[in-house]
Structure 1
Amino acid sequence: MTVIETERLILRKMDFRDEDNLMKIFSDPIAMRFYPSTKTREDAKKWIQWNLNNYEKHSAGLWICEFKENGDFVGMCGIVPQIVDEQHEMEIGYLLVREHWGKGLATEAAKASRDFGFNVLKLNRLISMIYKLNTPSIRVAERVGMTFEKETLIRGRETLVYSIEKSV
């Protein structure tokens, strides 16, 4: 089910048929270098279930990103609940297949997710939690209008928090 359309992408809800596509990212040590480790197929199934639960509970989650023109899998992007320094937050997250890096697709999907968060979900604030060495993700956050807020420890890792407030 399509949730968002951008110039080049369709963002849709993920389901268990997406396991193989998710493994294109999860099994790639370079794509996953800013995560604690790569993920197994079992992890992918849990990831899908987590997102299905988020859709139900929060009307958002990570959505599958596909090219409009041919339906090819690009990655995932969306809005997920997080806890940062004991505060409930909604985060824009993105993970793309490595072959699609550097094409502006993460920024395109993240901007659409930002707009969905503000206009559809009526959120007043969004964040992105970024491992401090992940310069490409920092650039995406800045391109969608986020600014550096703070550095904190999340699951024992030095993490930068970027945020944006809804403009009135």
Structure 2
Amino acid sequence: MDHFSTTRLTAERLNESHLVDLVALHLDAEVSRYLGGVRPAETTKTYLATNIAHWDQHGFGLFVLRTKDGAFAGRAGVRHLLVDDVDEIEIFYAFKREFWGQGLASEIADALTEIGLSKLELPSLIGVVYAGNVASRRVLEKSDYLLERNAIRHGNDVVIYRKQR
């Protein structure tokens, strides 16, 4: 599954041509405050390579999101994530600021959940969110994820939500 669409977005499998858009997204301090901080271009280049390799290894991963008119809106995906030495499958998303508050994160979270639980037939999905990121927590709650626990990840307070098939 290299691409999909929602009502307002198209998602395409990550590739090297997306580097410029991802660098711009990761350099925005407001966007990146809940993503581990601003990432310089070289870090984003490594991030891109890691996520392309994830696709090659697992057959799913990170998508670049565009509006129906083709404008870059953000990134989102389904990926393996090691959490407390357990291999979990996480949904994740990040949007350019101009697309915040429009319900796009909820739209994409629902689509990723459907992909993970129905199409990929995974037993469960998690969402890992900085504890203070109220908007992202609400997105997961609206998609029927249940708060599972608090944790520390990379020195940050996070909450882990889960949805089971």
Measured against the shorter chain, the TM-score band is over 0.9
Q: Distance in 1 between matches of 2:153 and 2:116?
A: 23
Partner of 1:97: 96
RMSD of Structure 2 on Structure 1 (CA) = 1.3
Q: Distance in 2 between matches of 1:93 and 1:36?
A: 13
Partner-residue secondary structure (3-state), 1:91: strand
Contact 1:24 1:97 in 2 (8 A): no
Partner of 1:9: 9
- Change in Cα spacing, 1:2 to 1:81, as seen in structure 2 (3 Å) is closer
Partner of 2:63: 63
> 1:62: how far off?
1.6
Tell me the amino acid that sits aligned with residue 72 of structure 1.
A
Tell me the amino acid that sits aligned with residue 165 of structure 1.
Q
How many residue pairs match? The answer is 165
Partner-residue secondary structure (3-state), 2:66: strand
Partner of 2:33: 33
Q: Distance in 2 between matches of 1:76 and 1:37?
A: 16
Tell me the amino acid that sits aligned with residue 44 of structure 1.
T
1:79 paired with 2:78, answer yes
1:143 paired with 2:130, answer no
Q: Which ranges of 4 or more aligned residues in structure 1 deviate by more than 6 Å?
A: none
> 1:2: how far off?
4.7
Partner of 2:126: 127
- Change in Cα spacing, 1:2 to 1:66, as seen in structure 2 (3 Å) is farther
Partner of 1:107: 106
Q: Distance in 2 between matches of 1:163 and 1:44?
A: 27
Partner-residue secondary structure (3-state), 1:30: helix
Structure 2 runs not aligned, ≥5 long: none
Decide which structure has greater helix share. Answer: 2
Q: Distance in 1 between matches of 2:7 and 2:39?
A: 31
Partner-residue secondary structure (3-state), 1:103: coil
Partner-residue secondary structure (3-state), 1:7: coil
Deviations 1:23-70 (A, max 9, x none): 2221111111123320111111111111111111122112001112x1
Q: Distance in 1 between matches of 2:14 and 2:50?
A: 10
TM-score computed with the length of structure 1 as normaliser: 0.93
Partner-residue secondary structure (3-state), 2:53: helix
Deviations 1:60-110 (A, max 9, x none): 112001112x11111011101111122110000001001100111111111
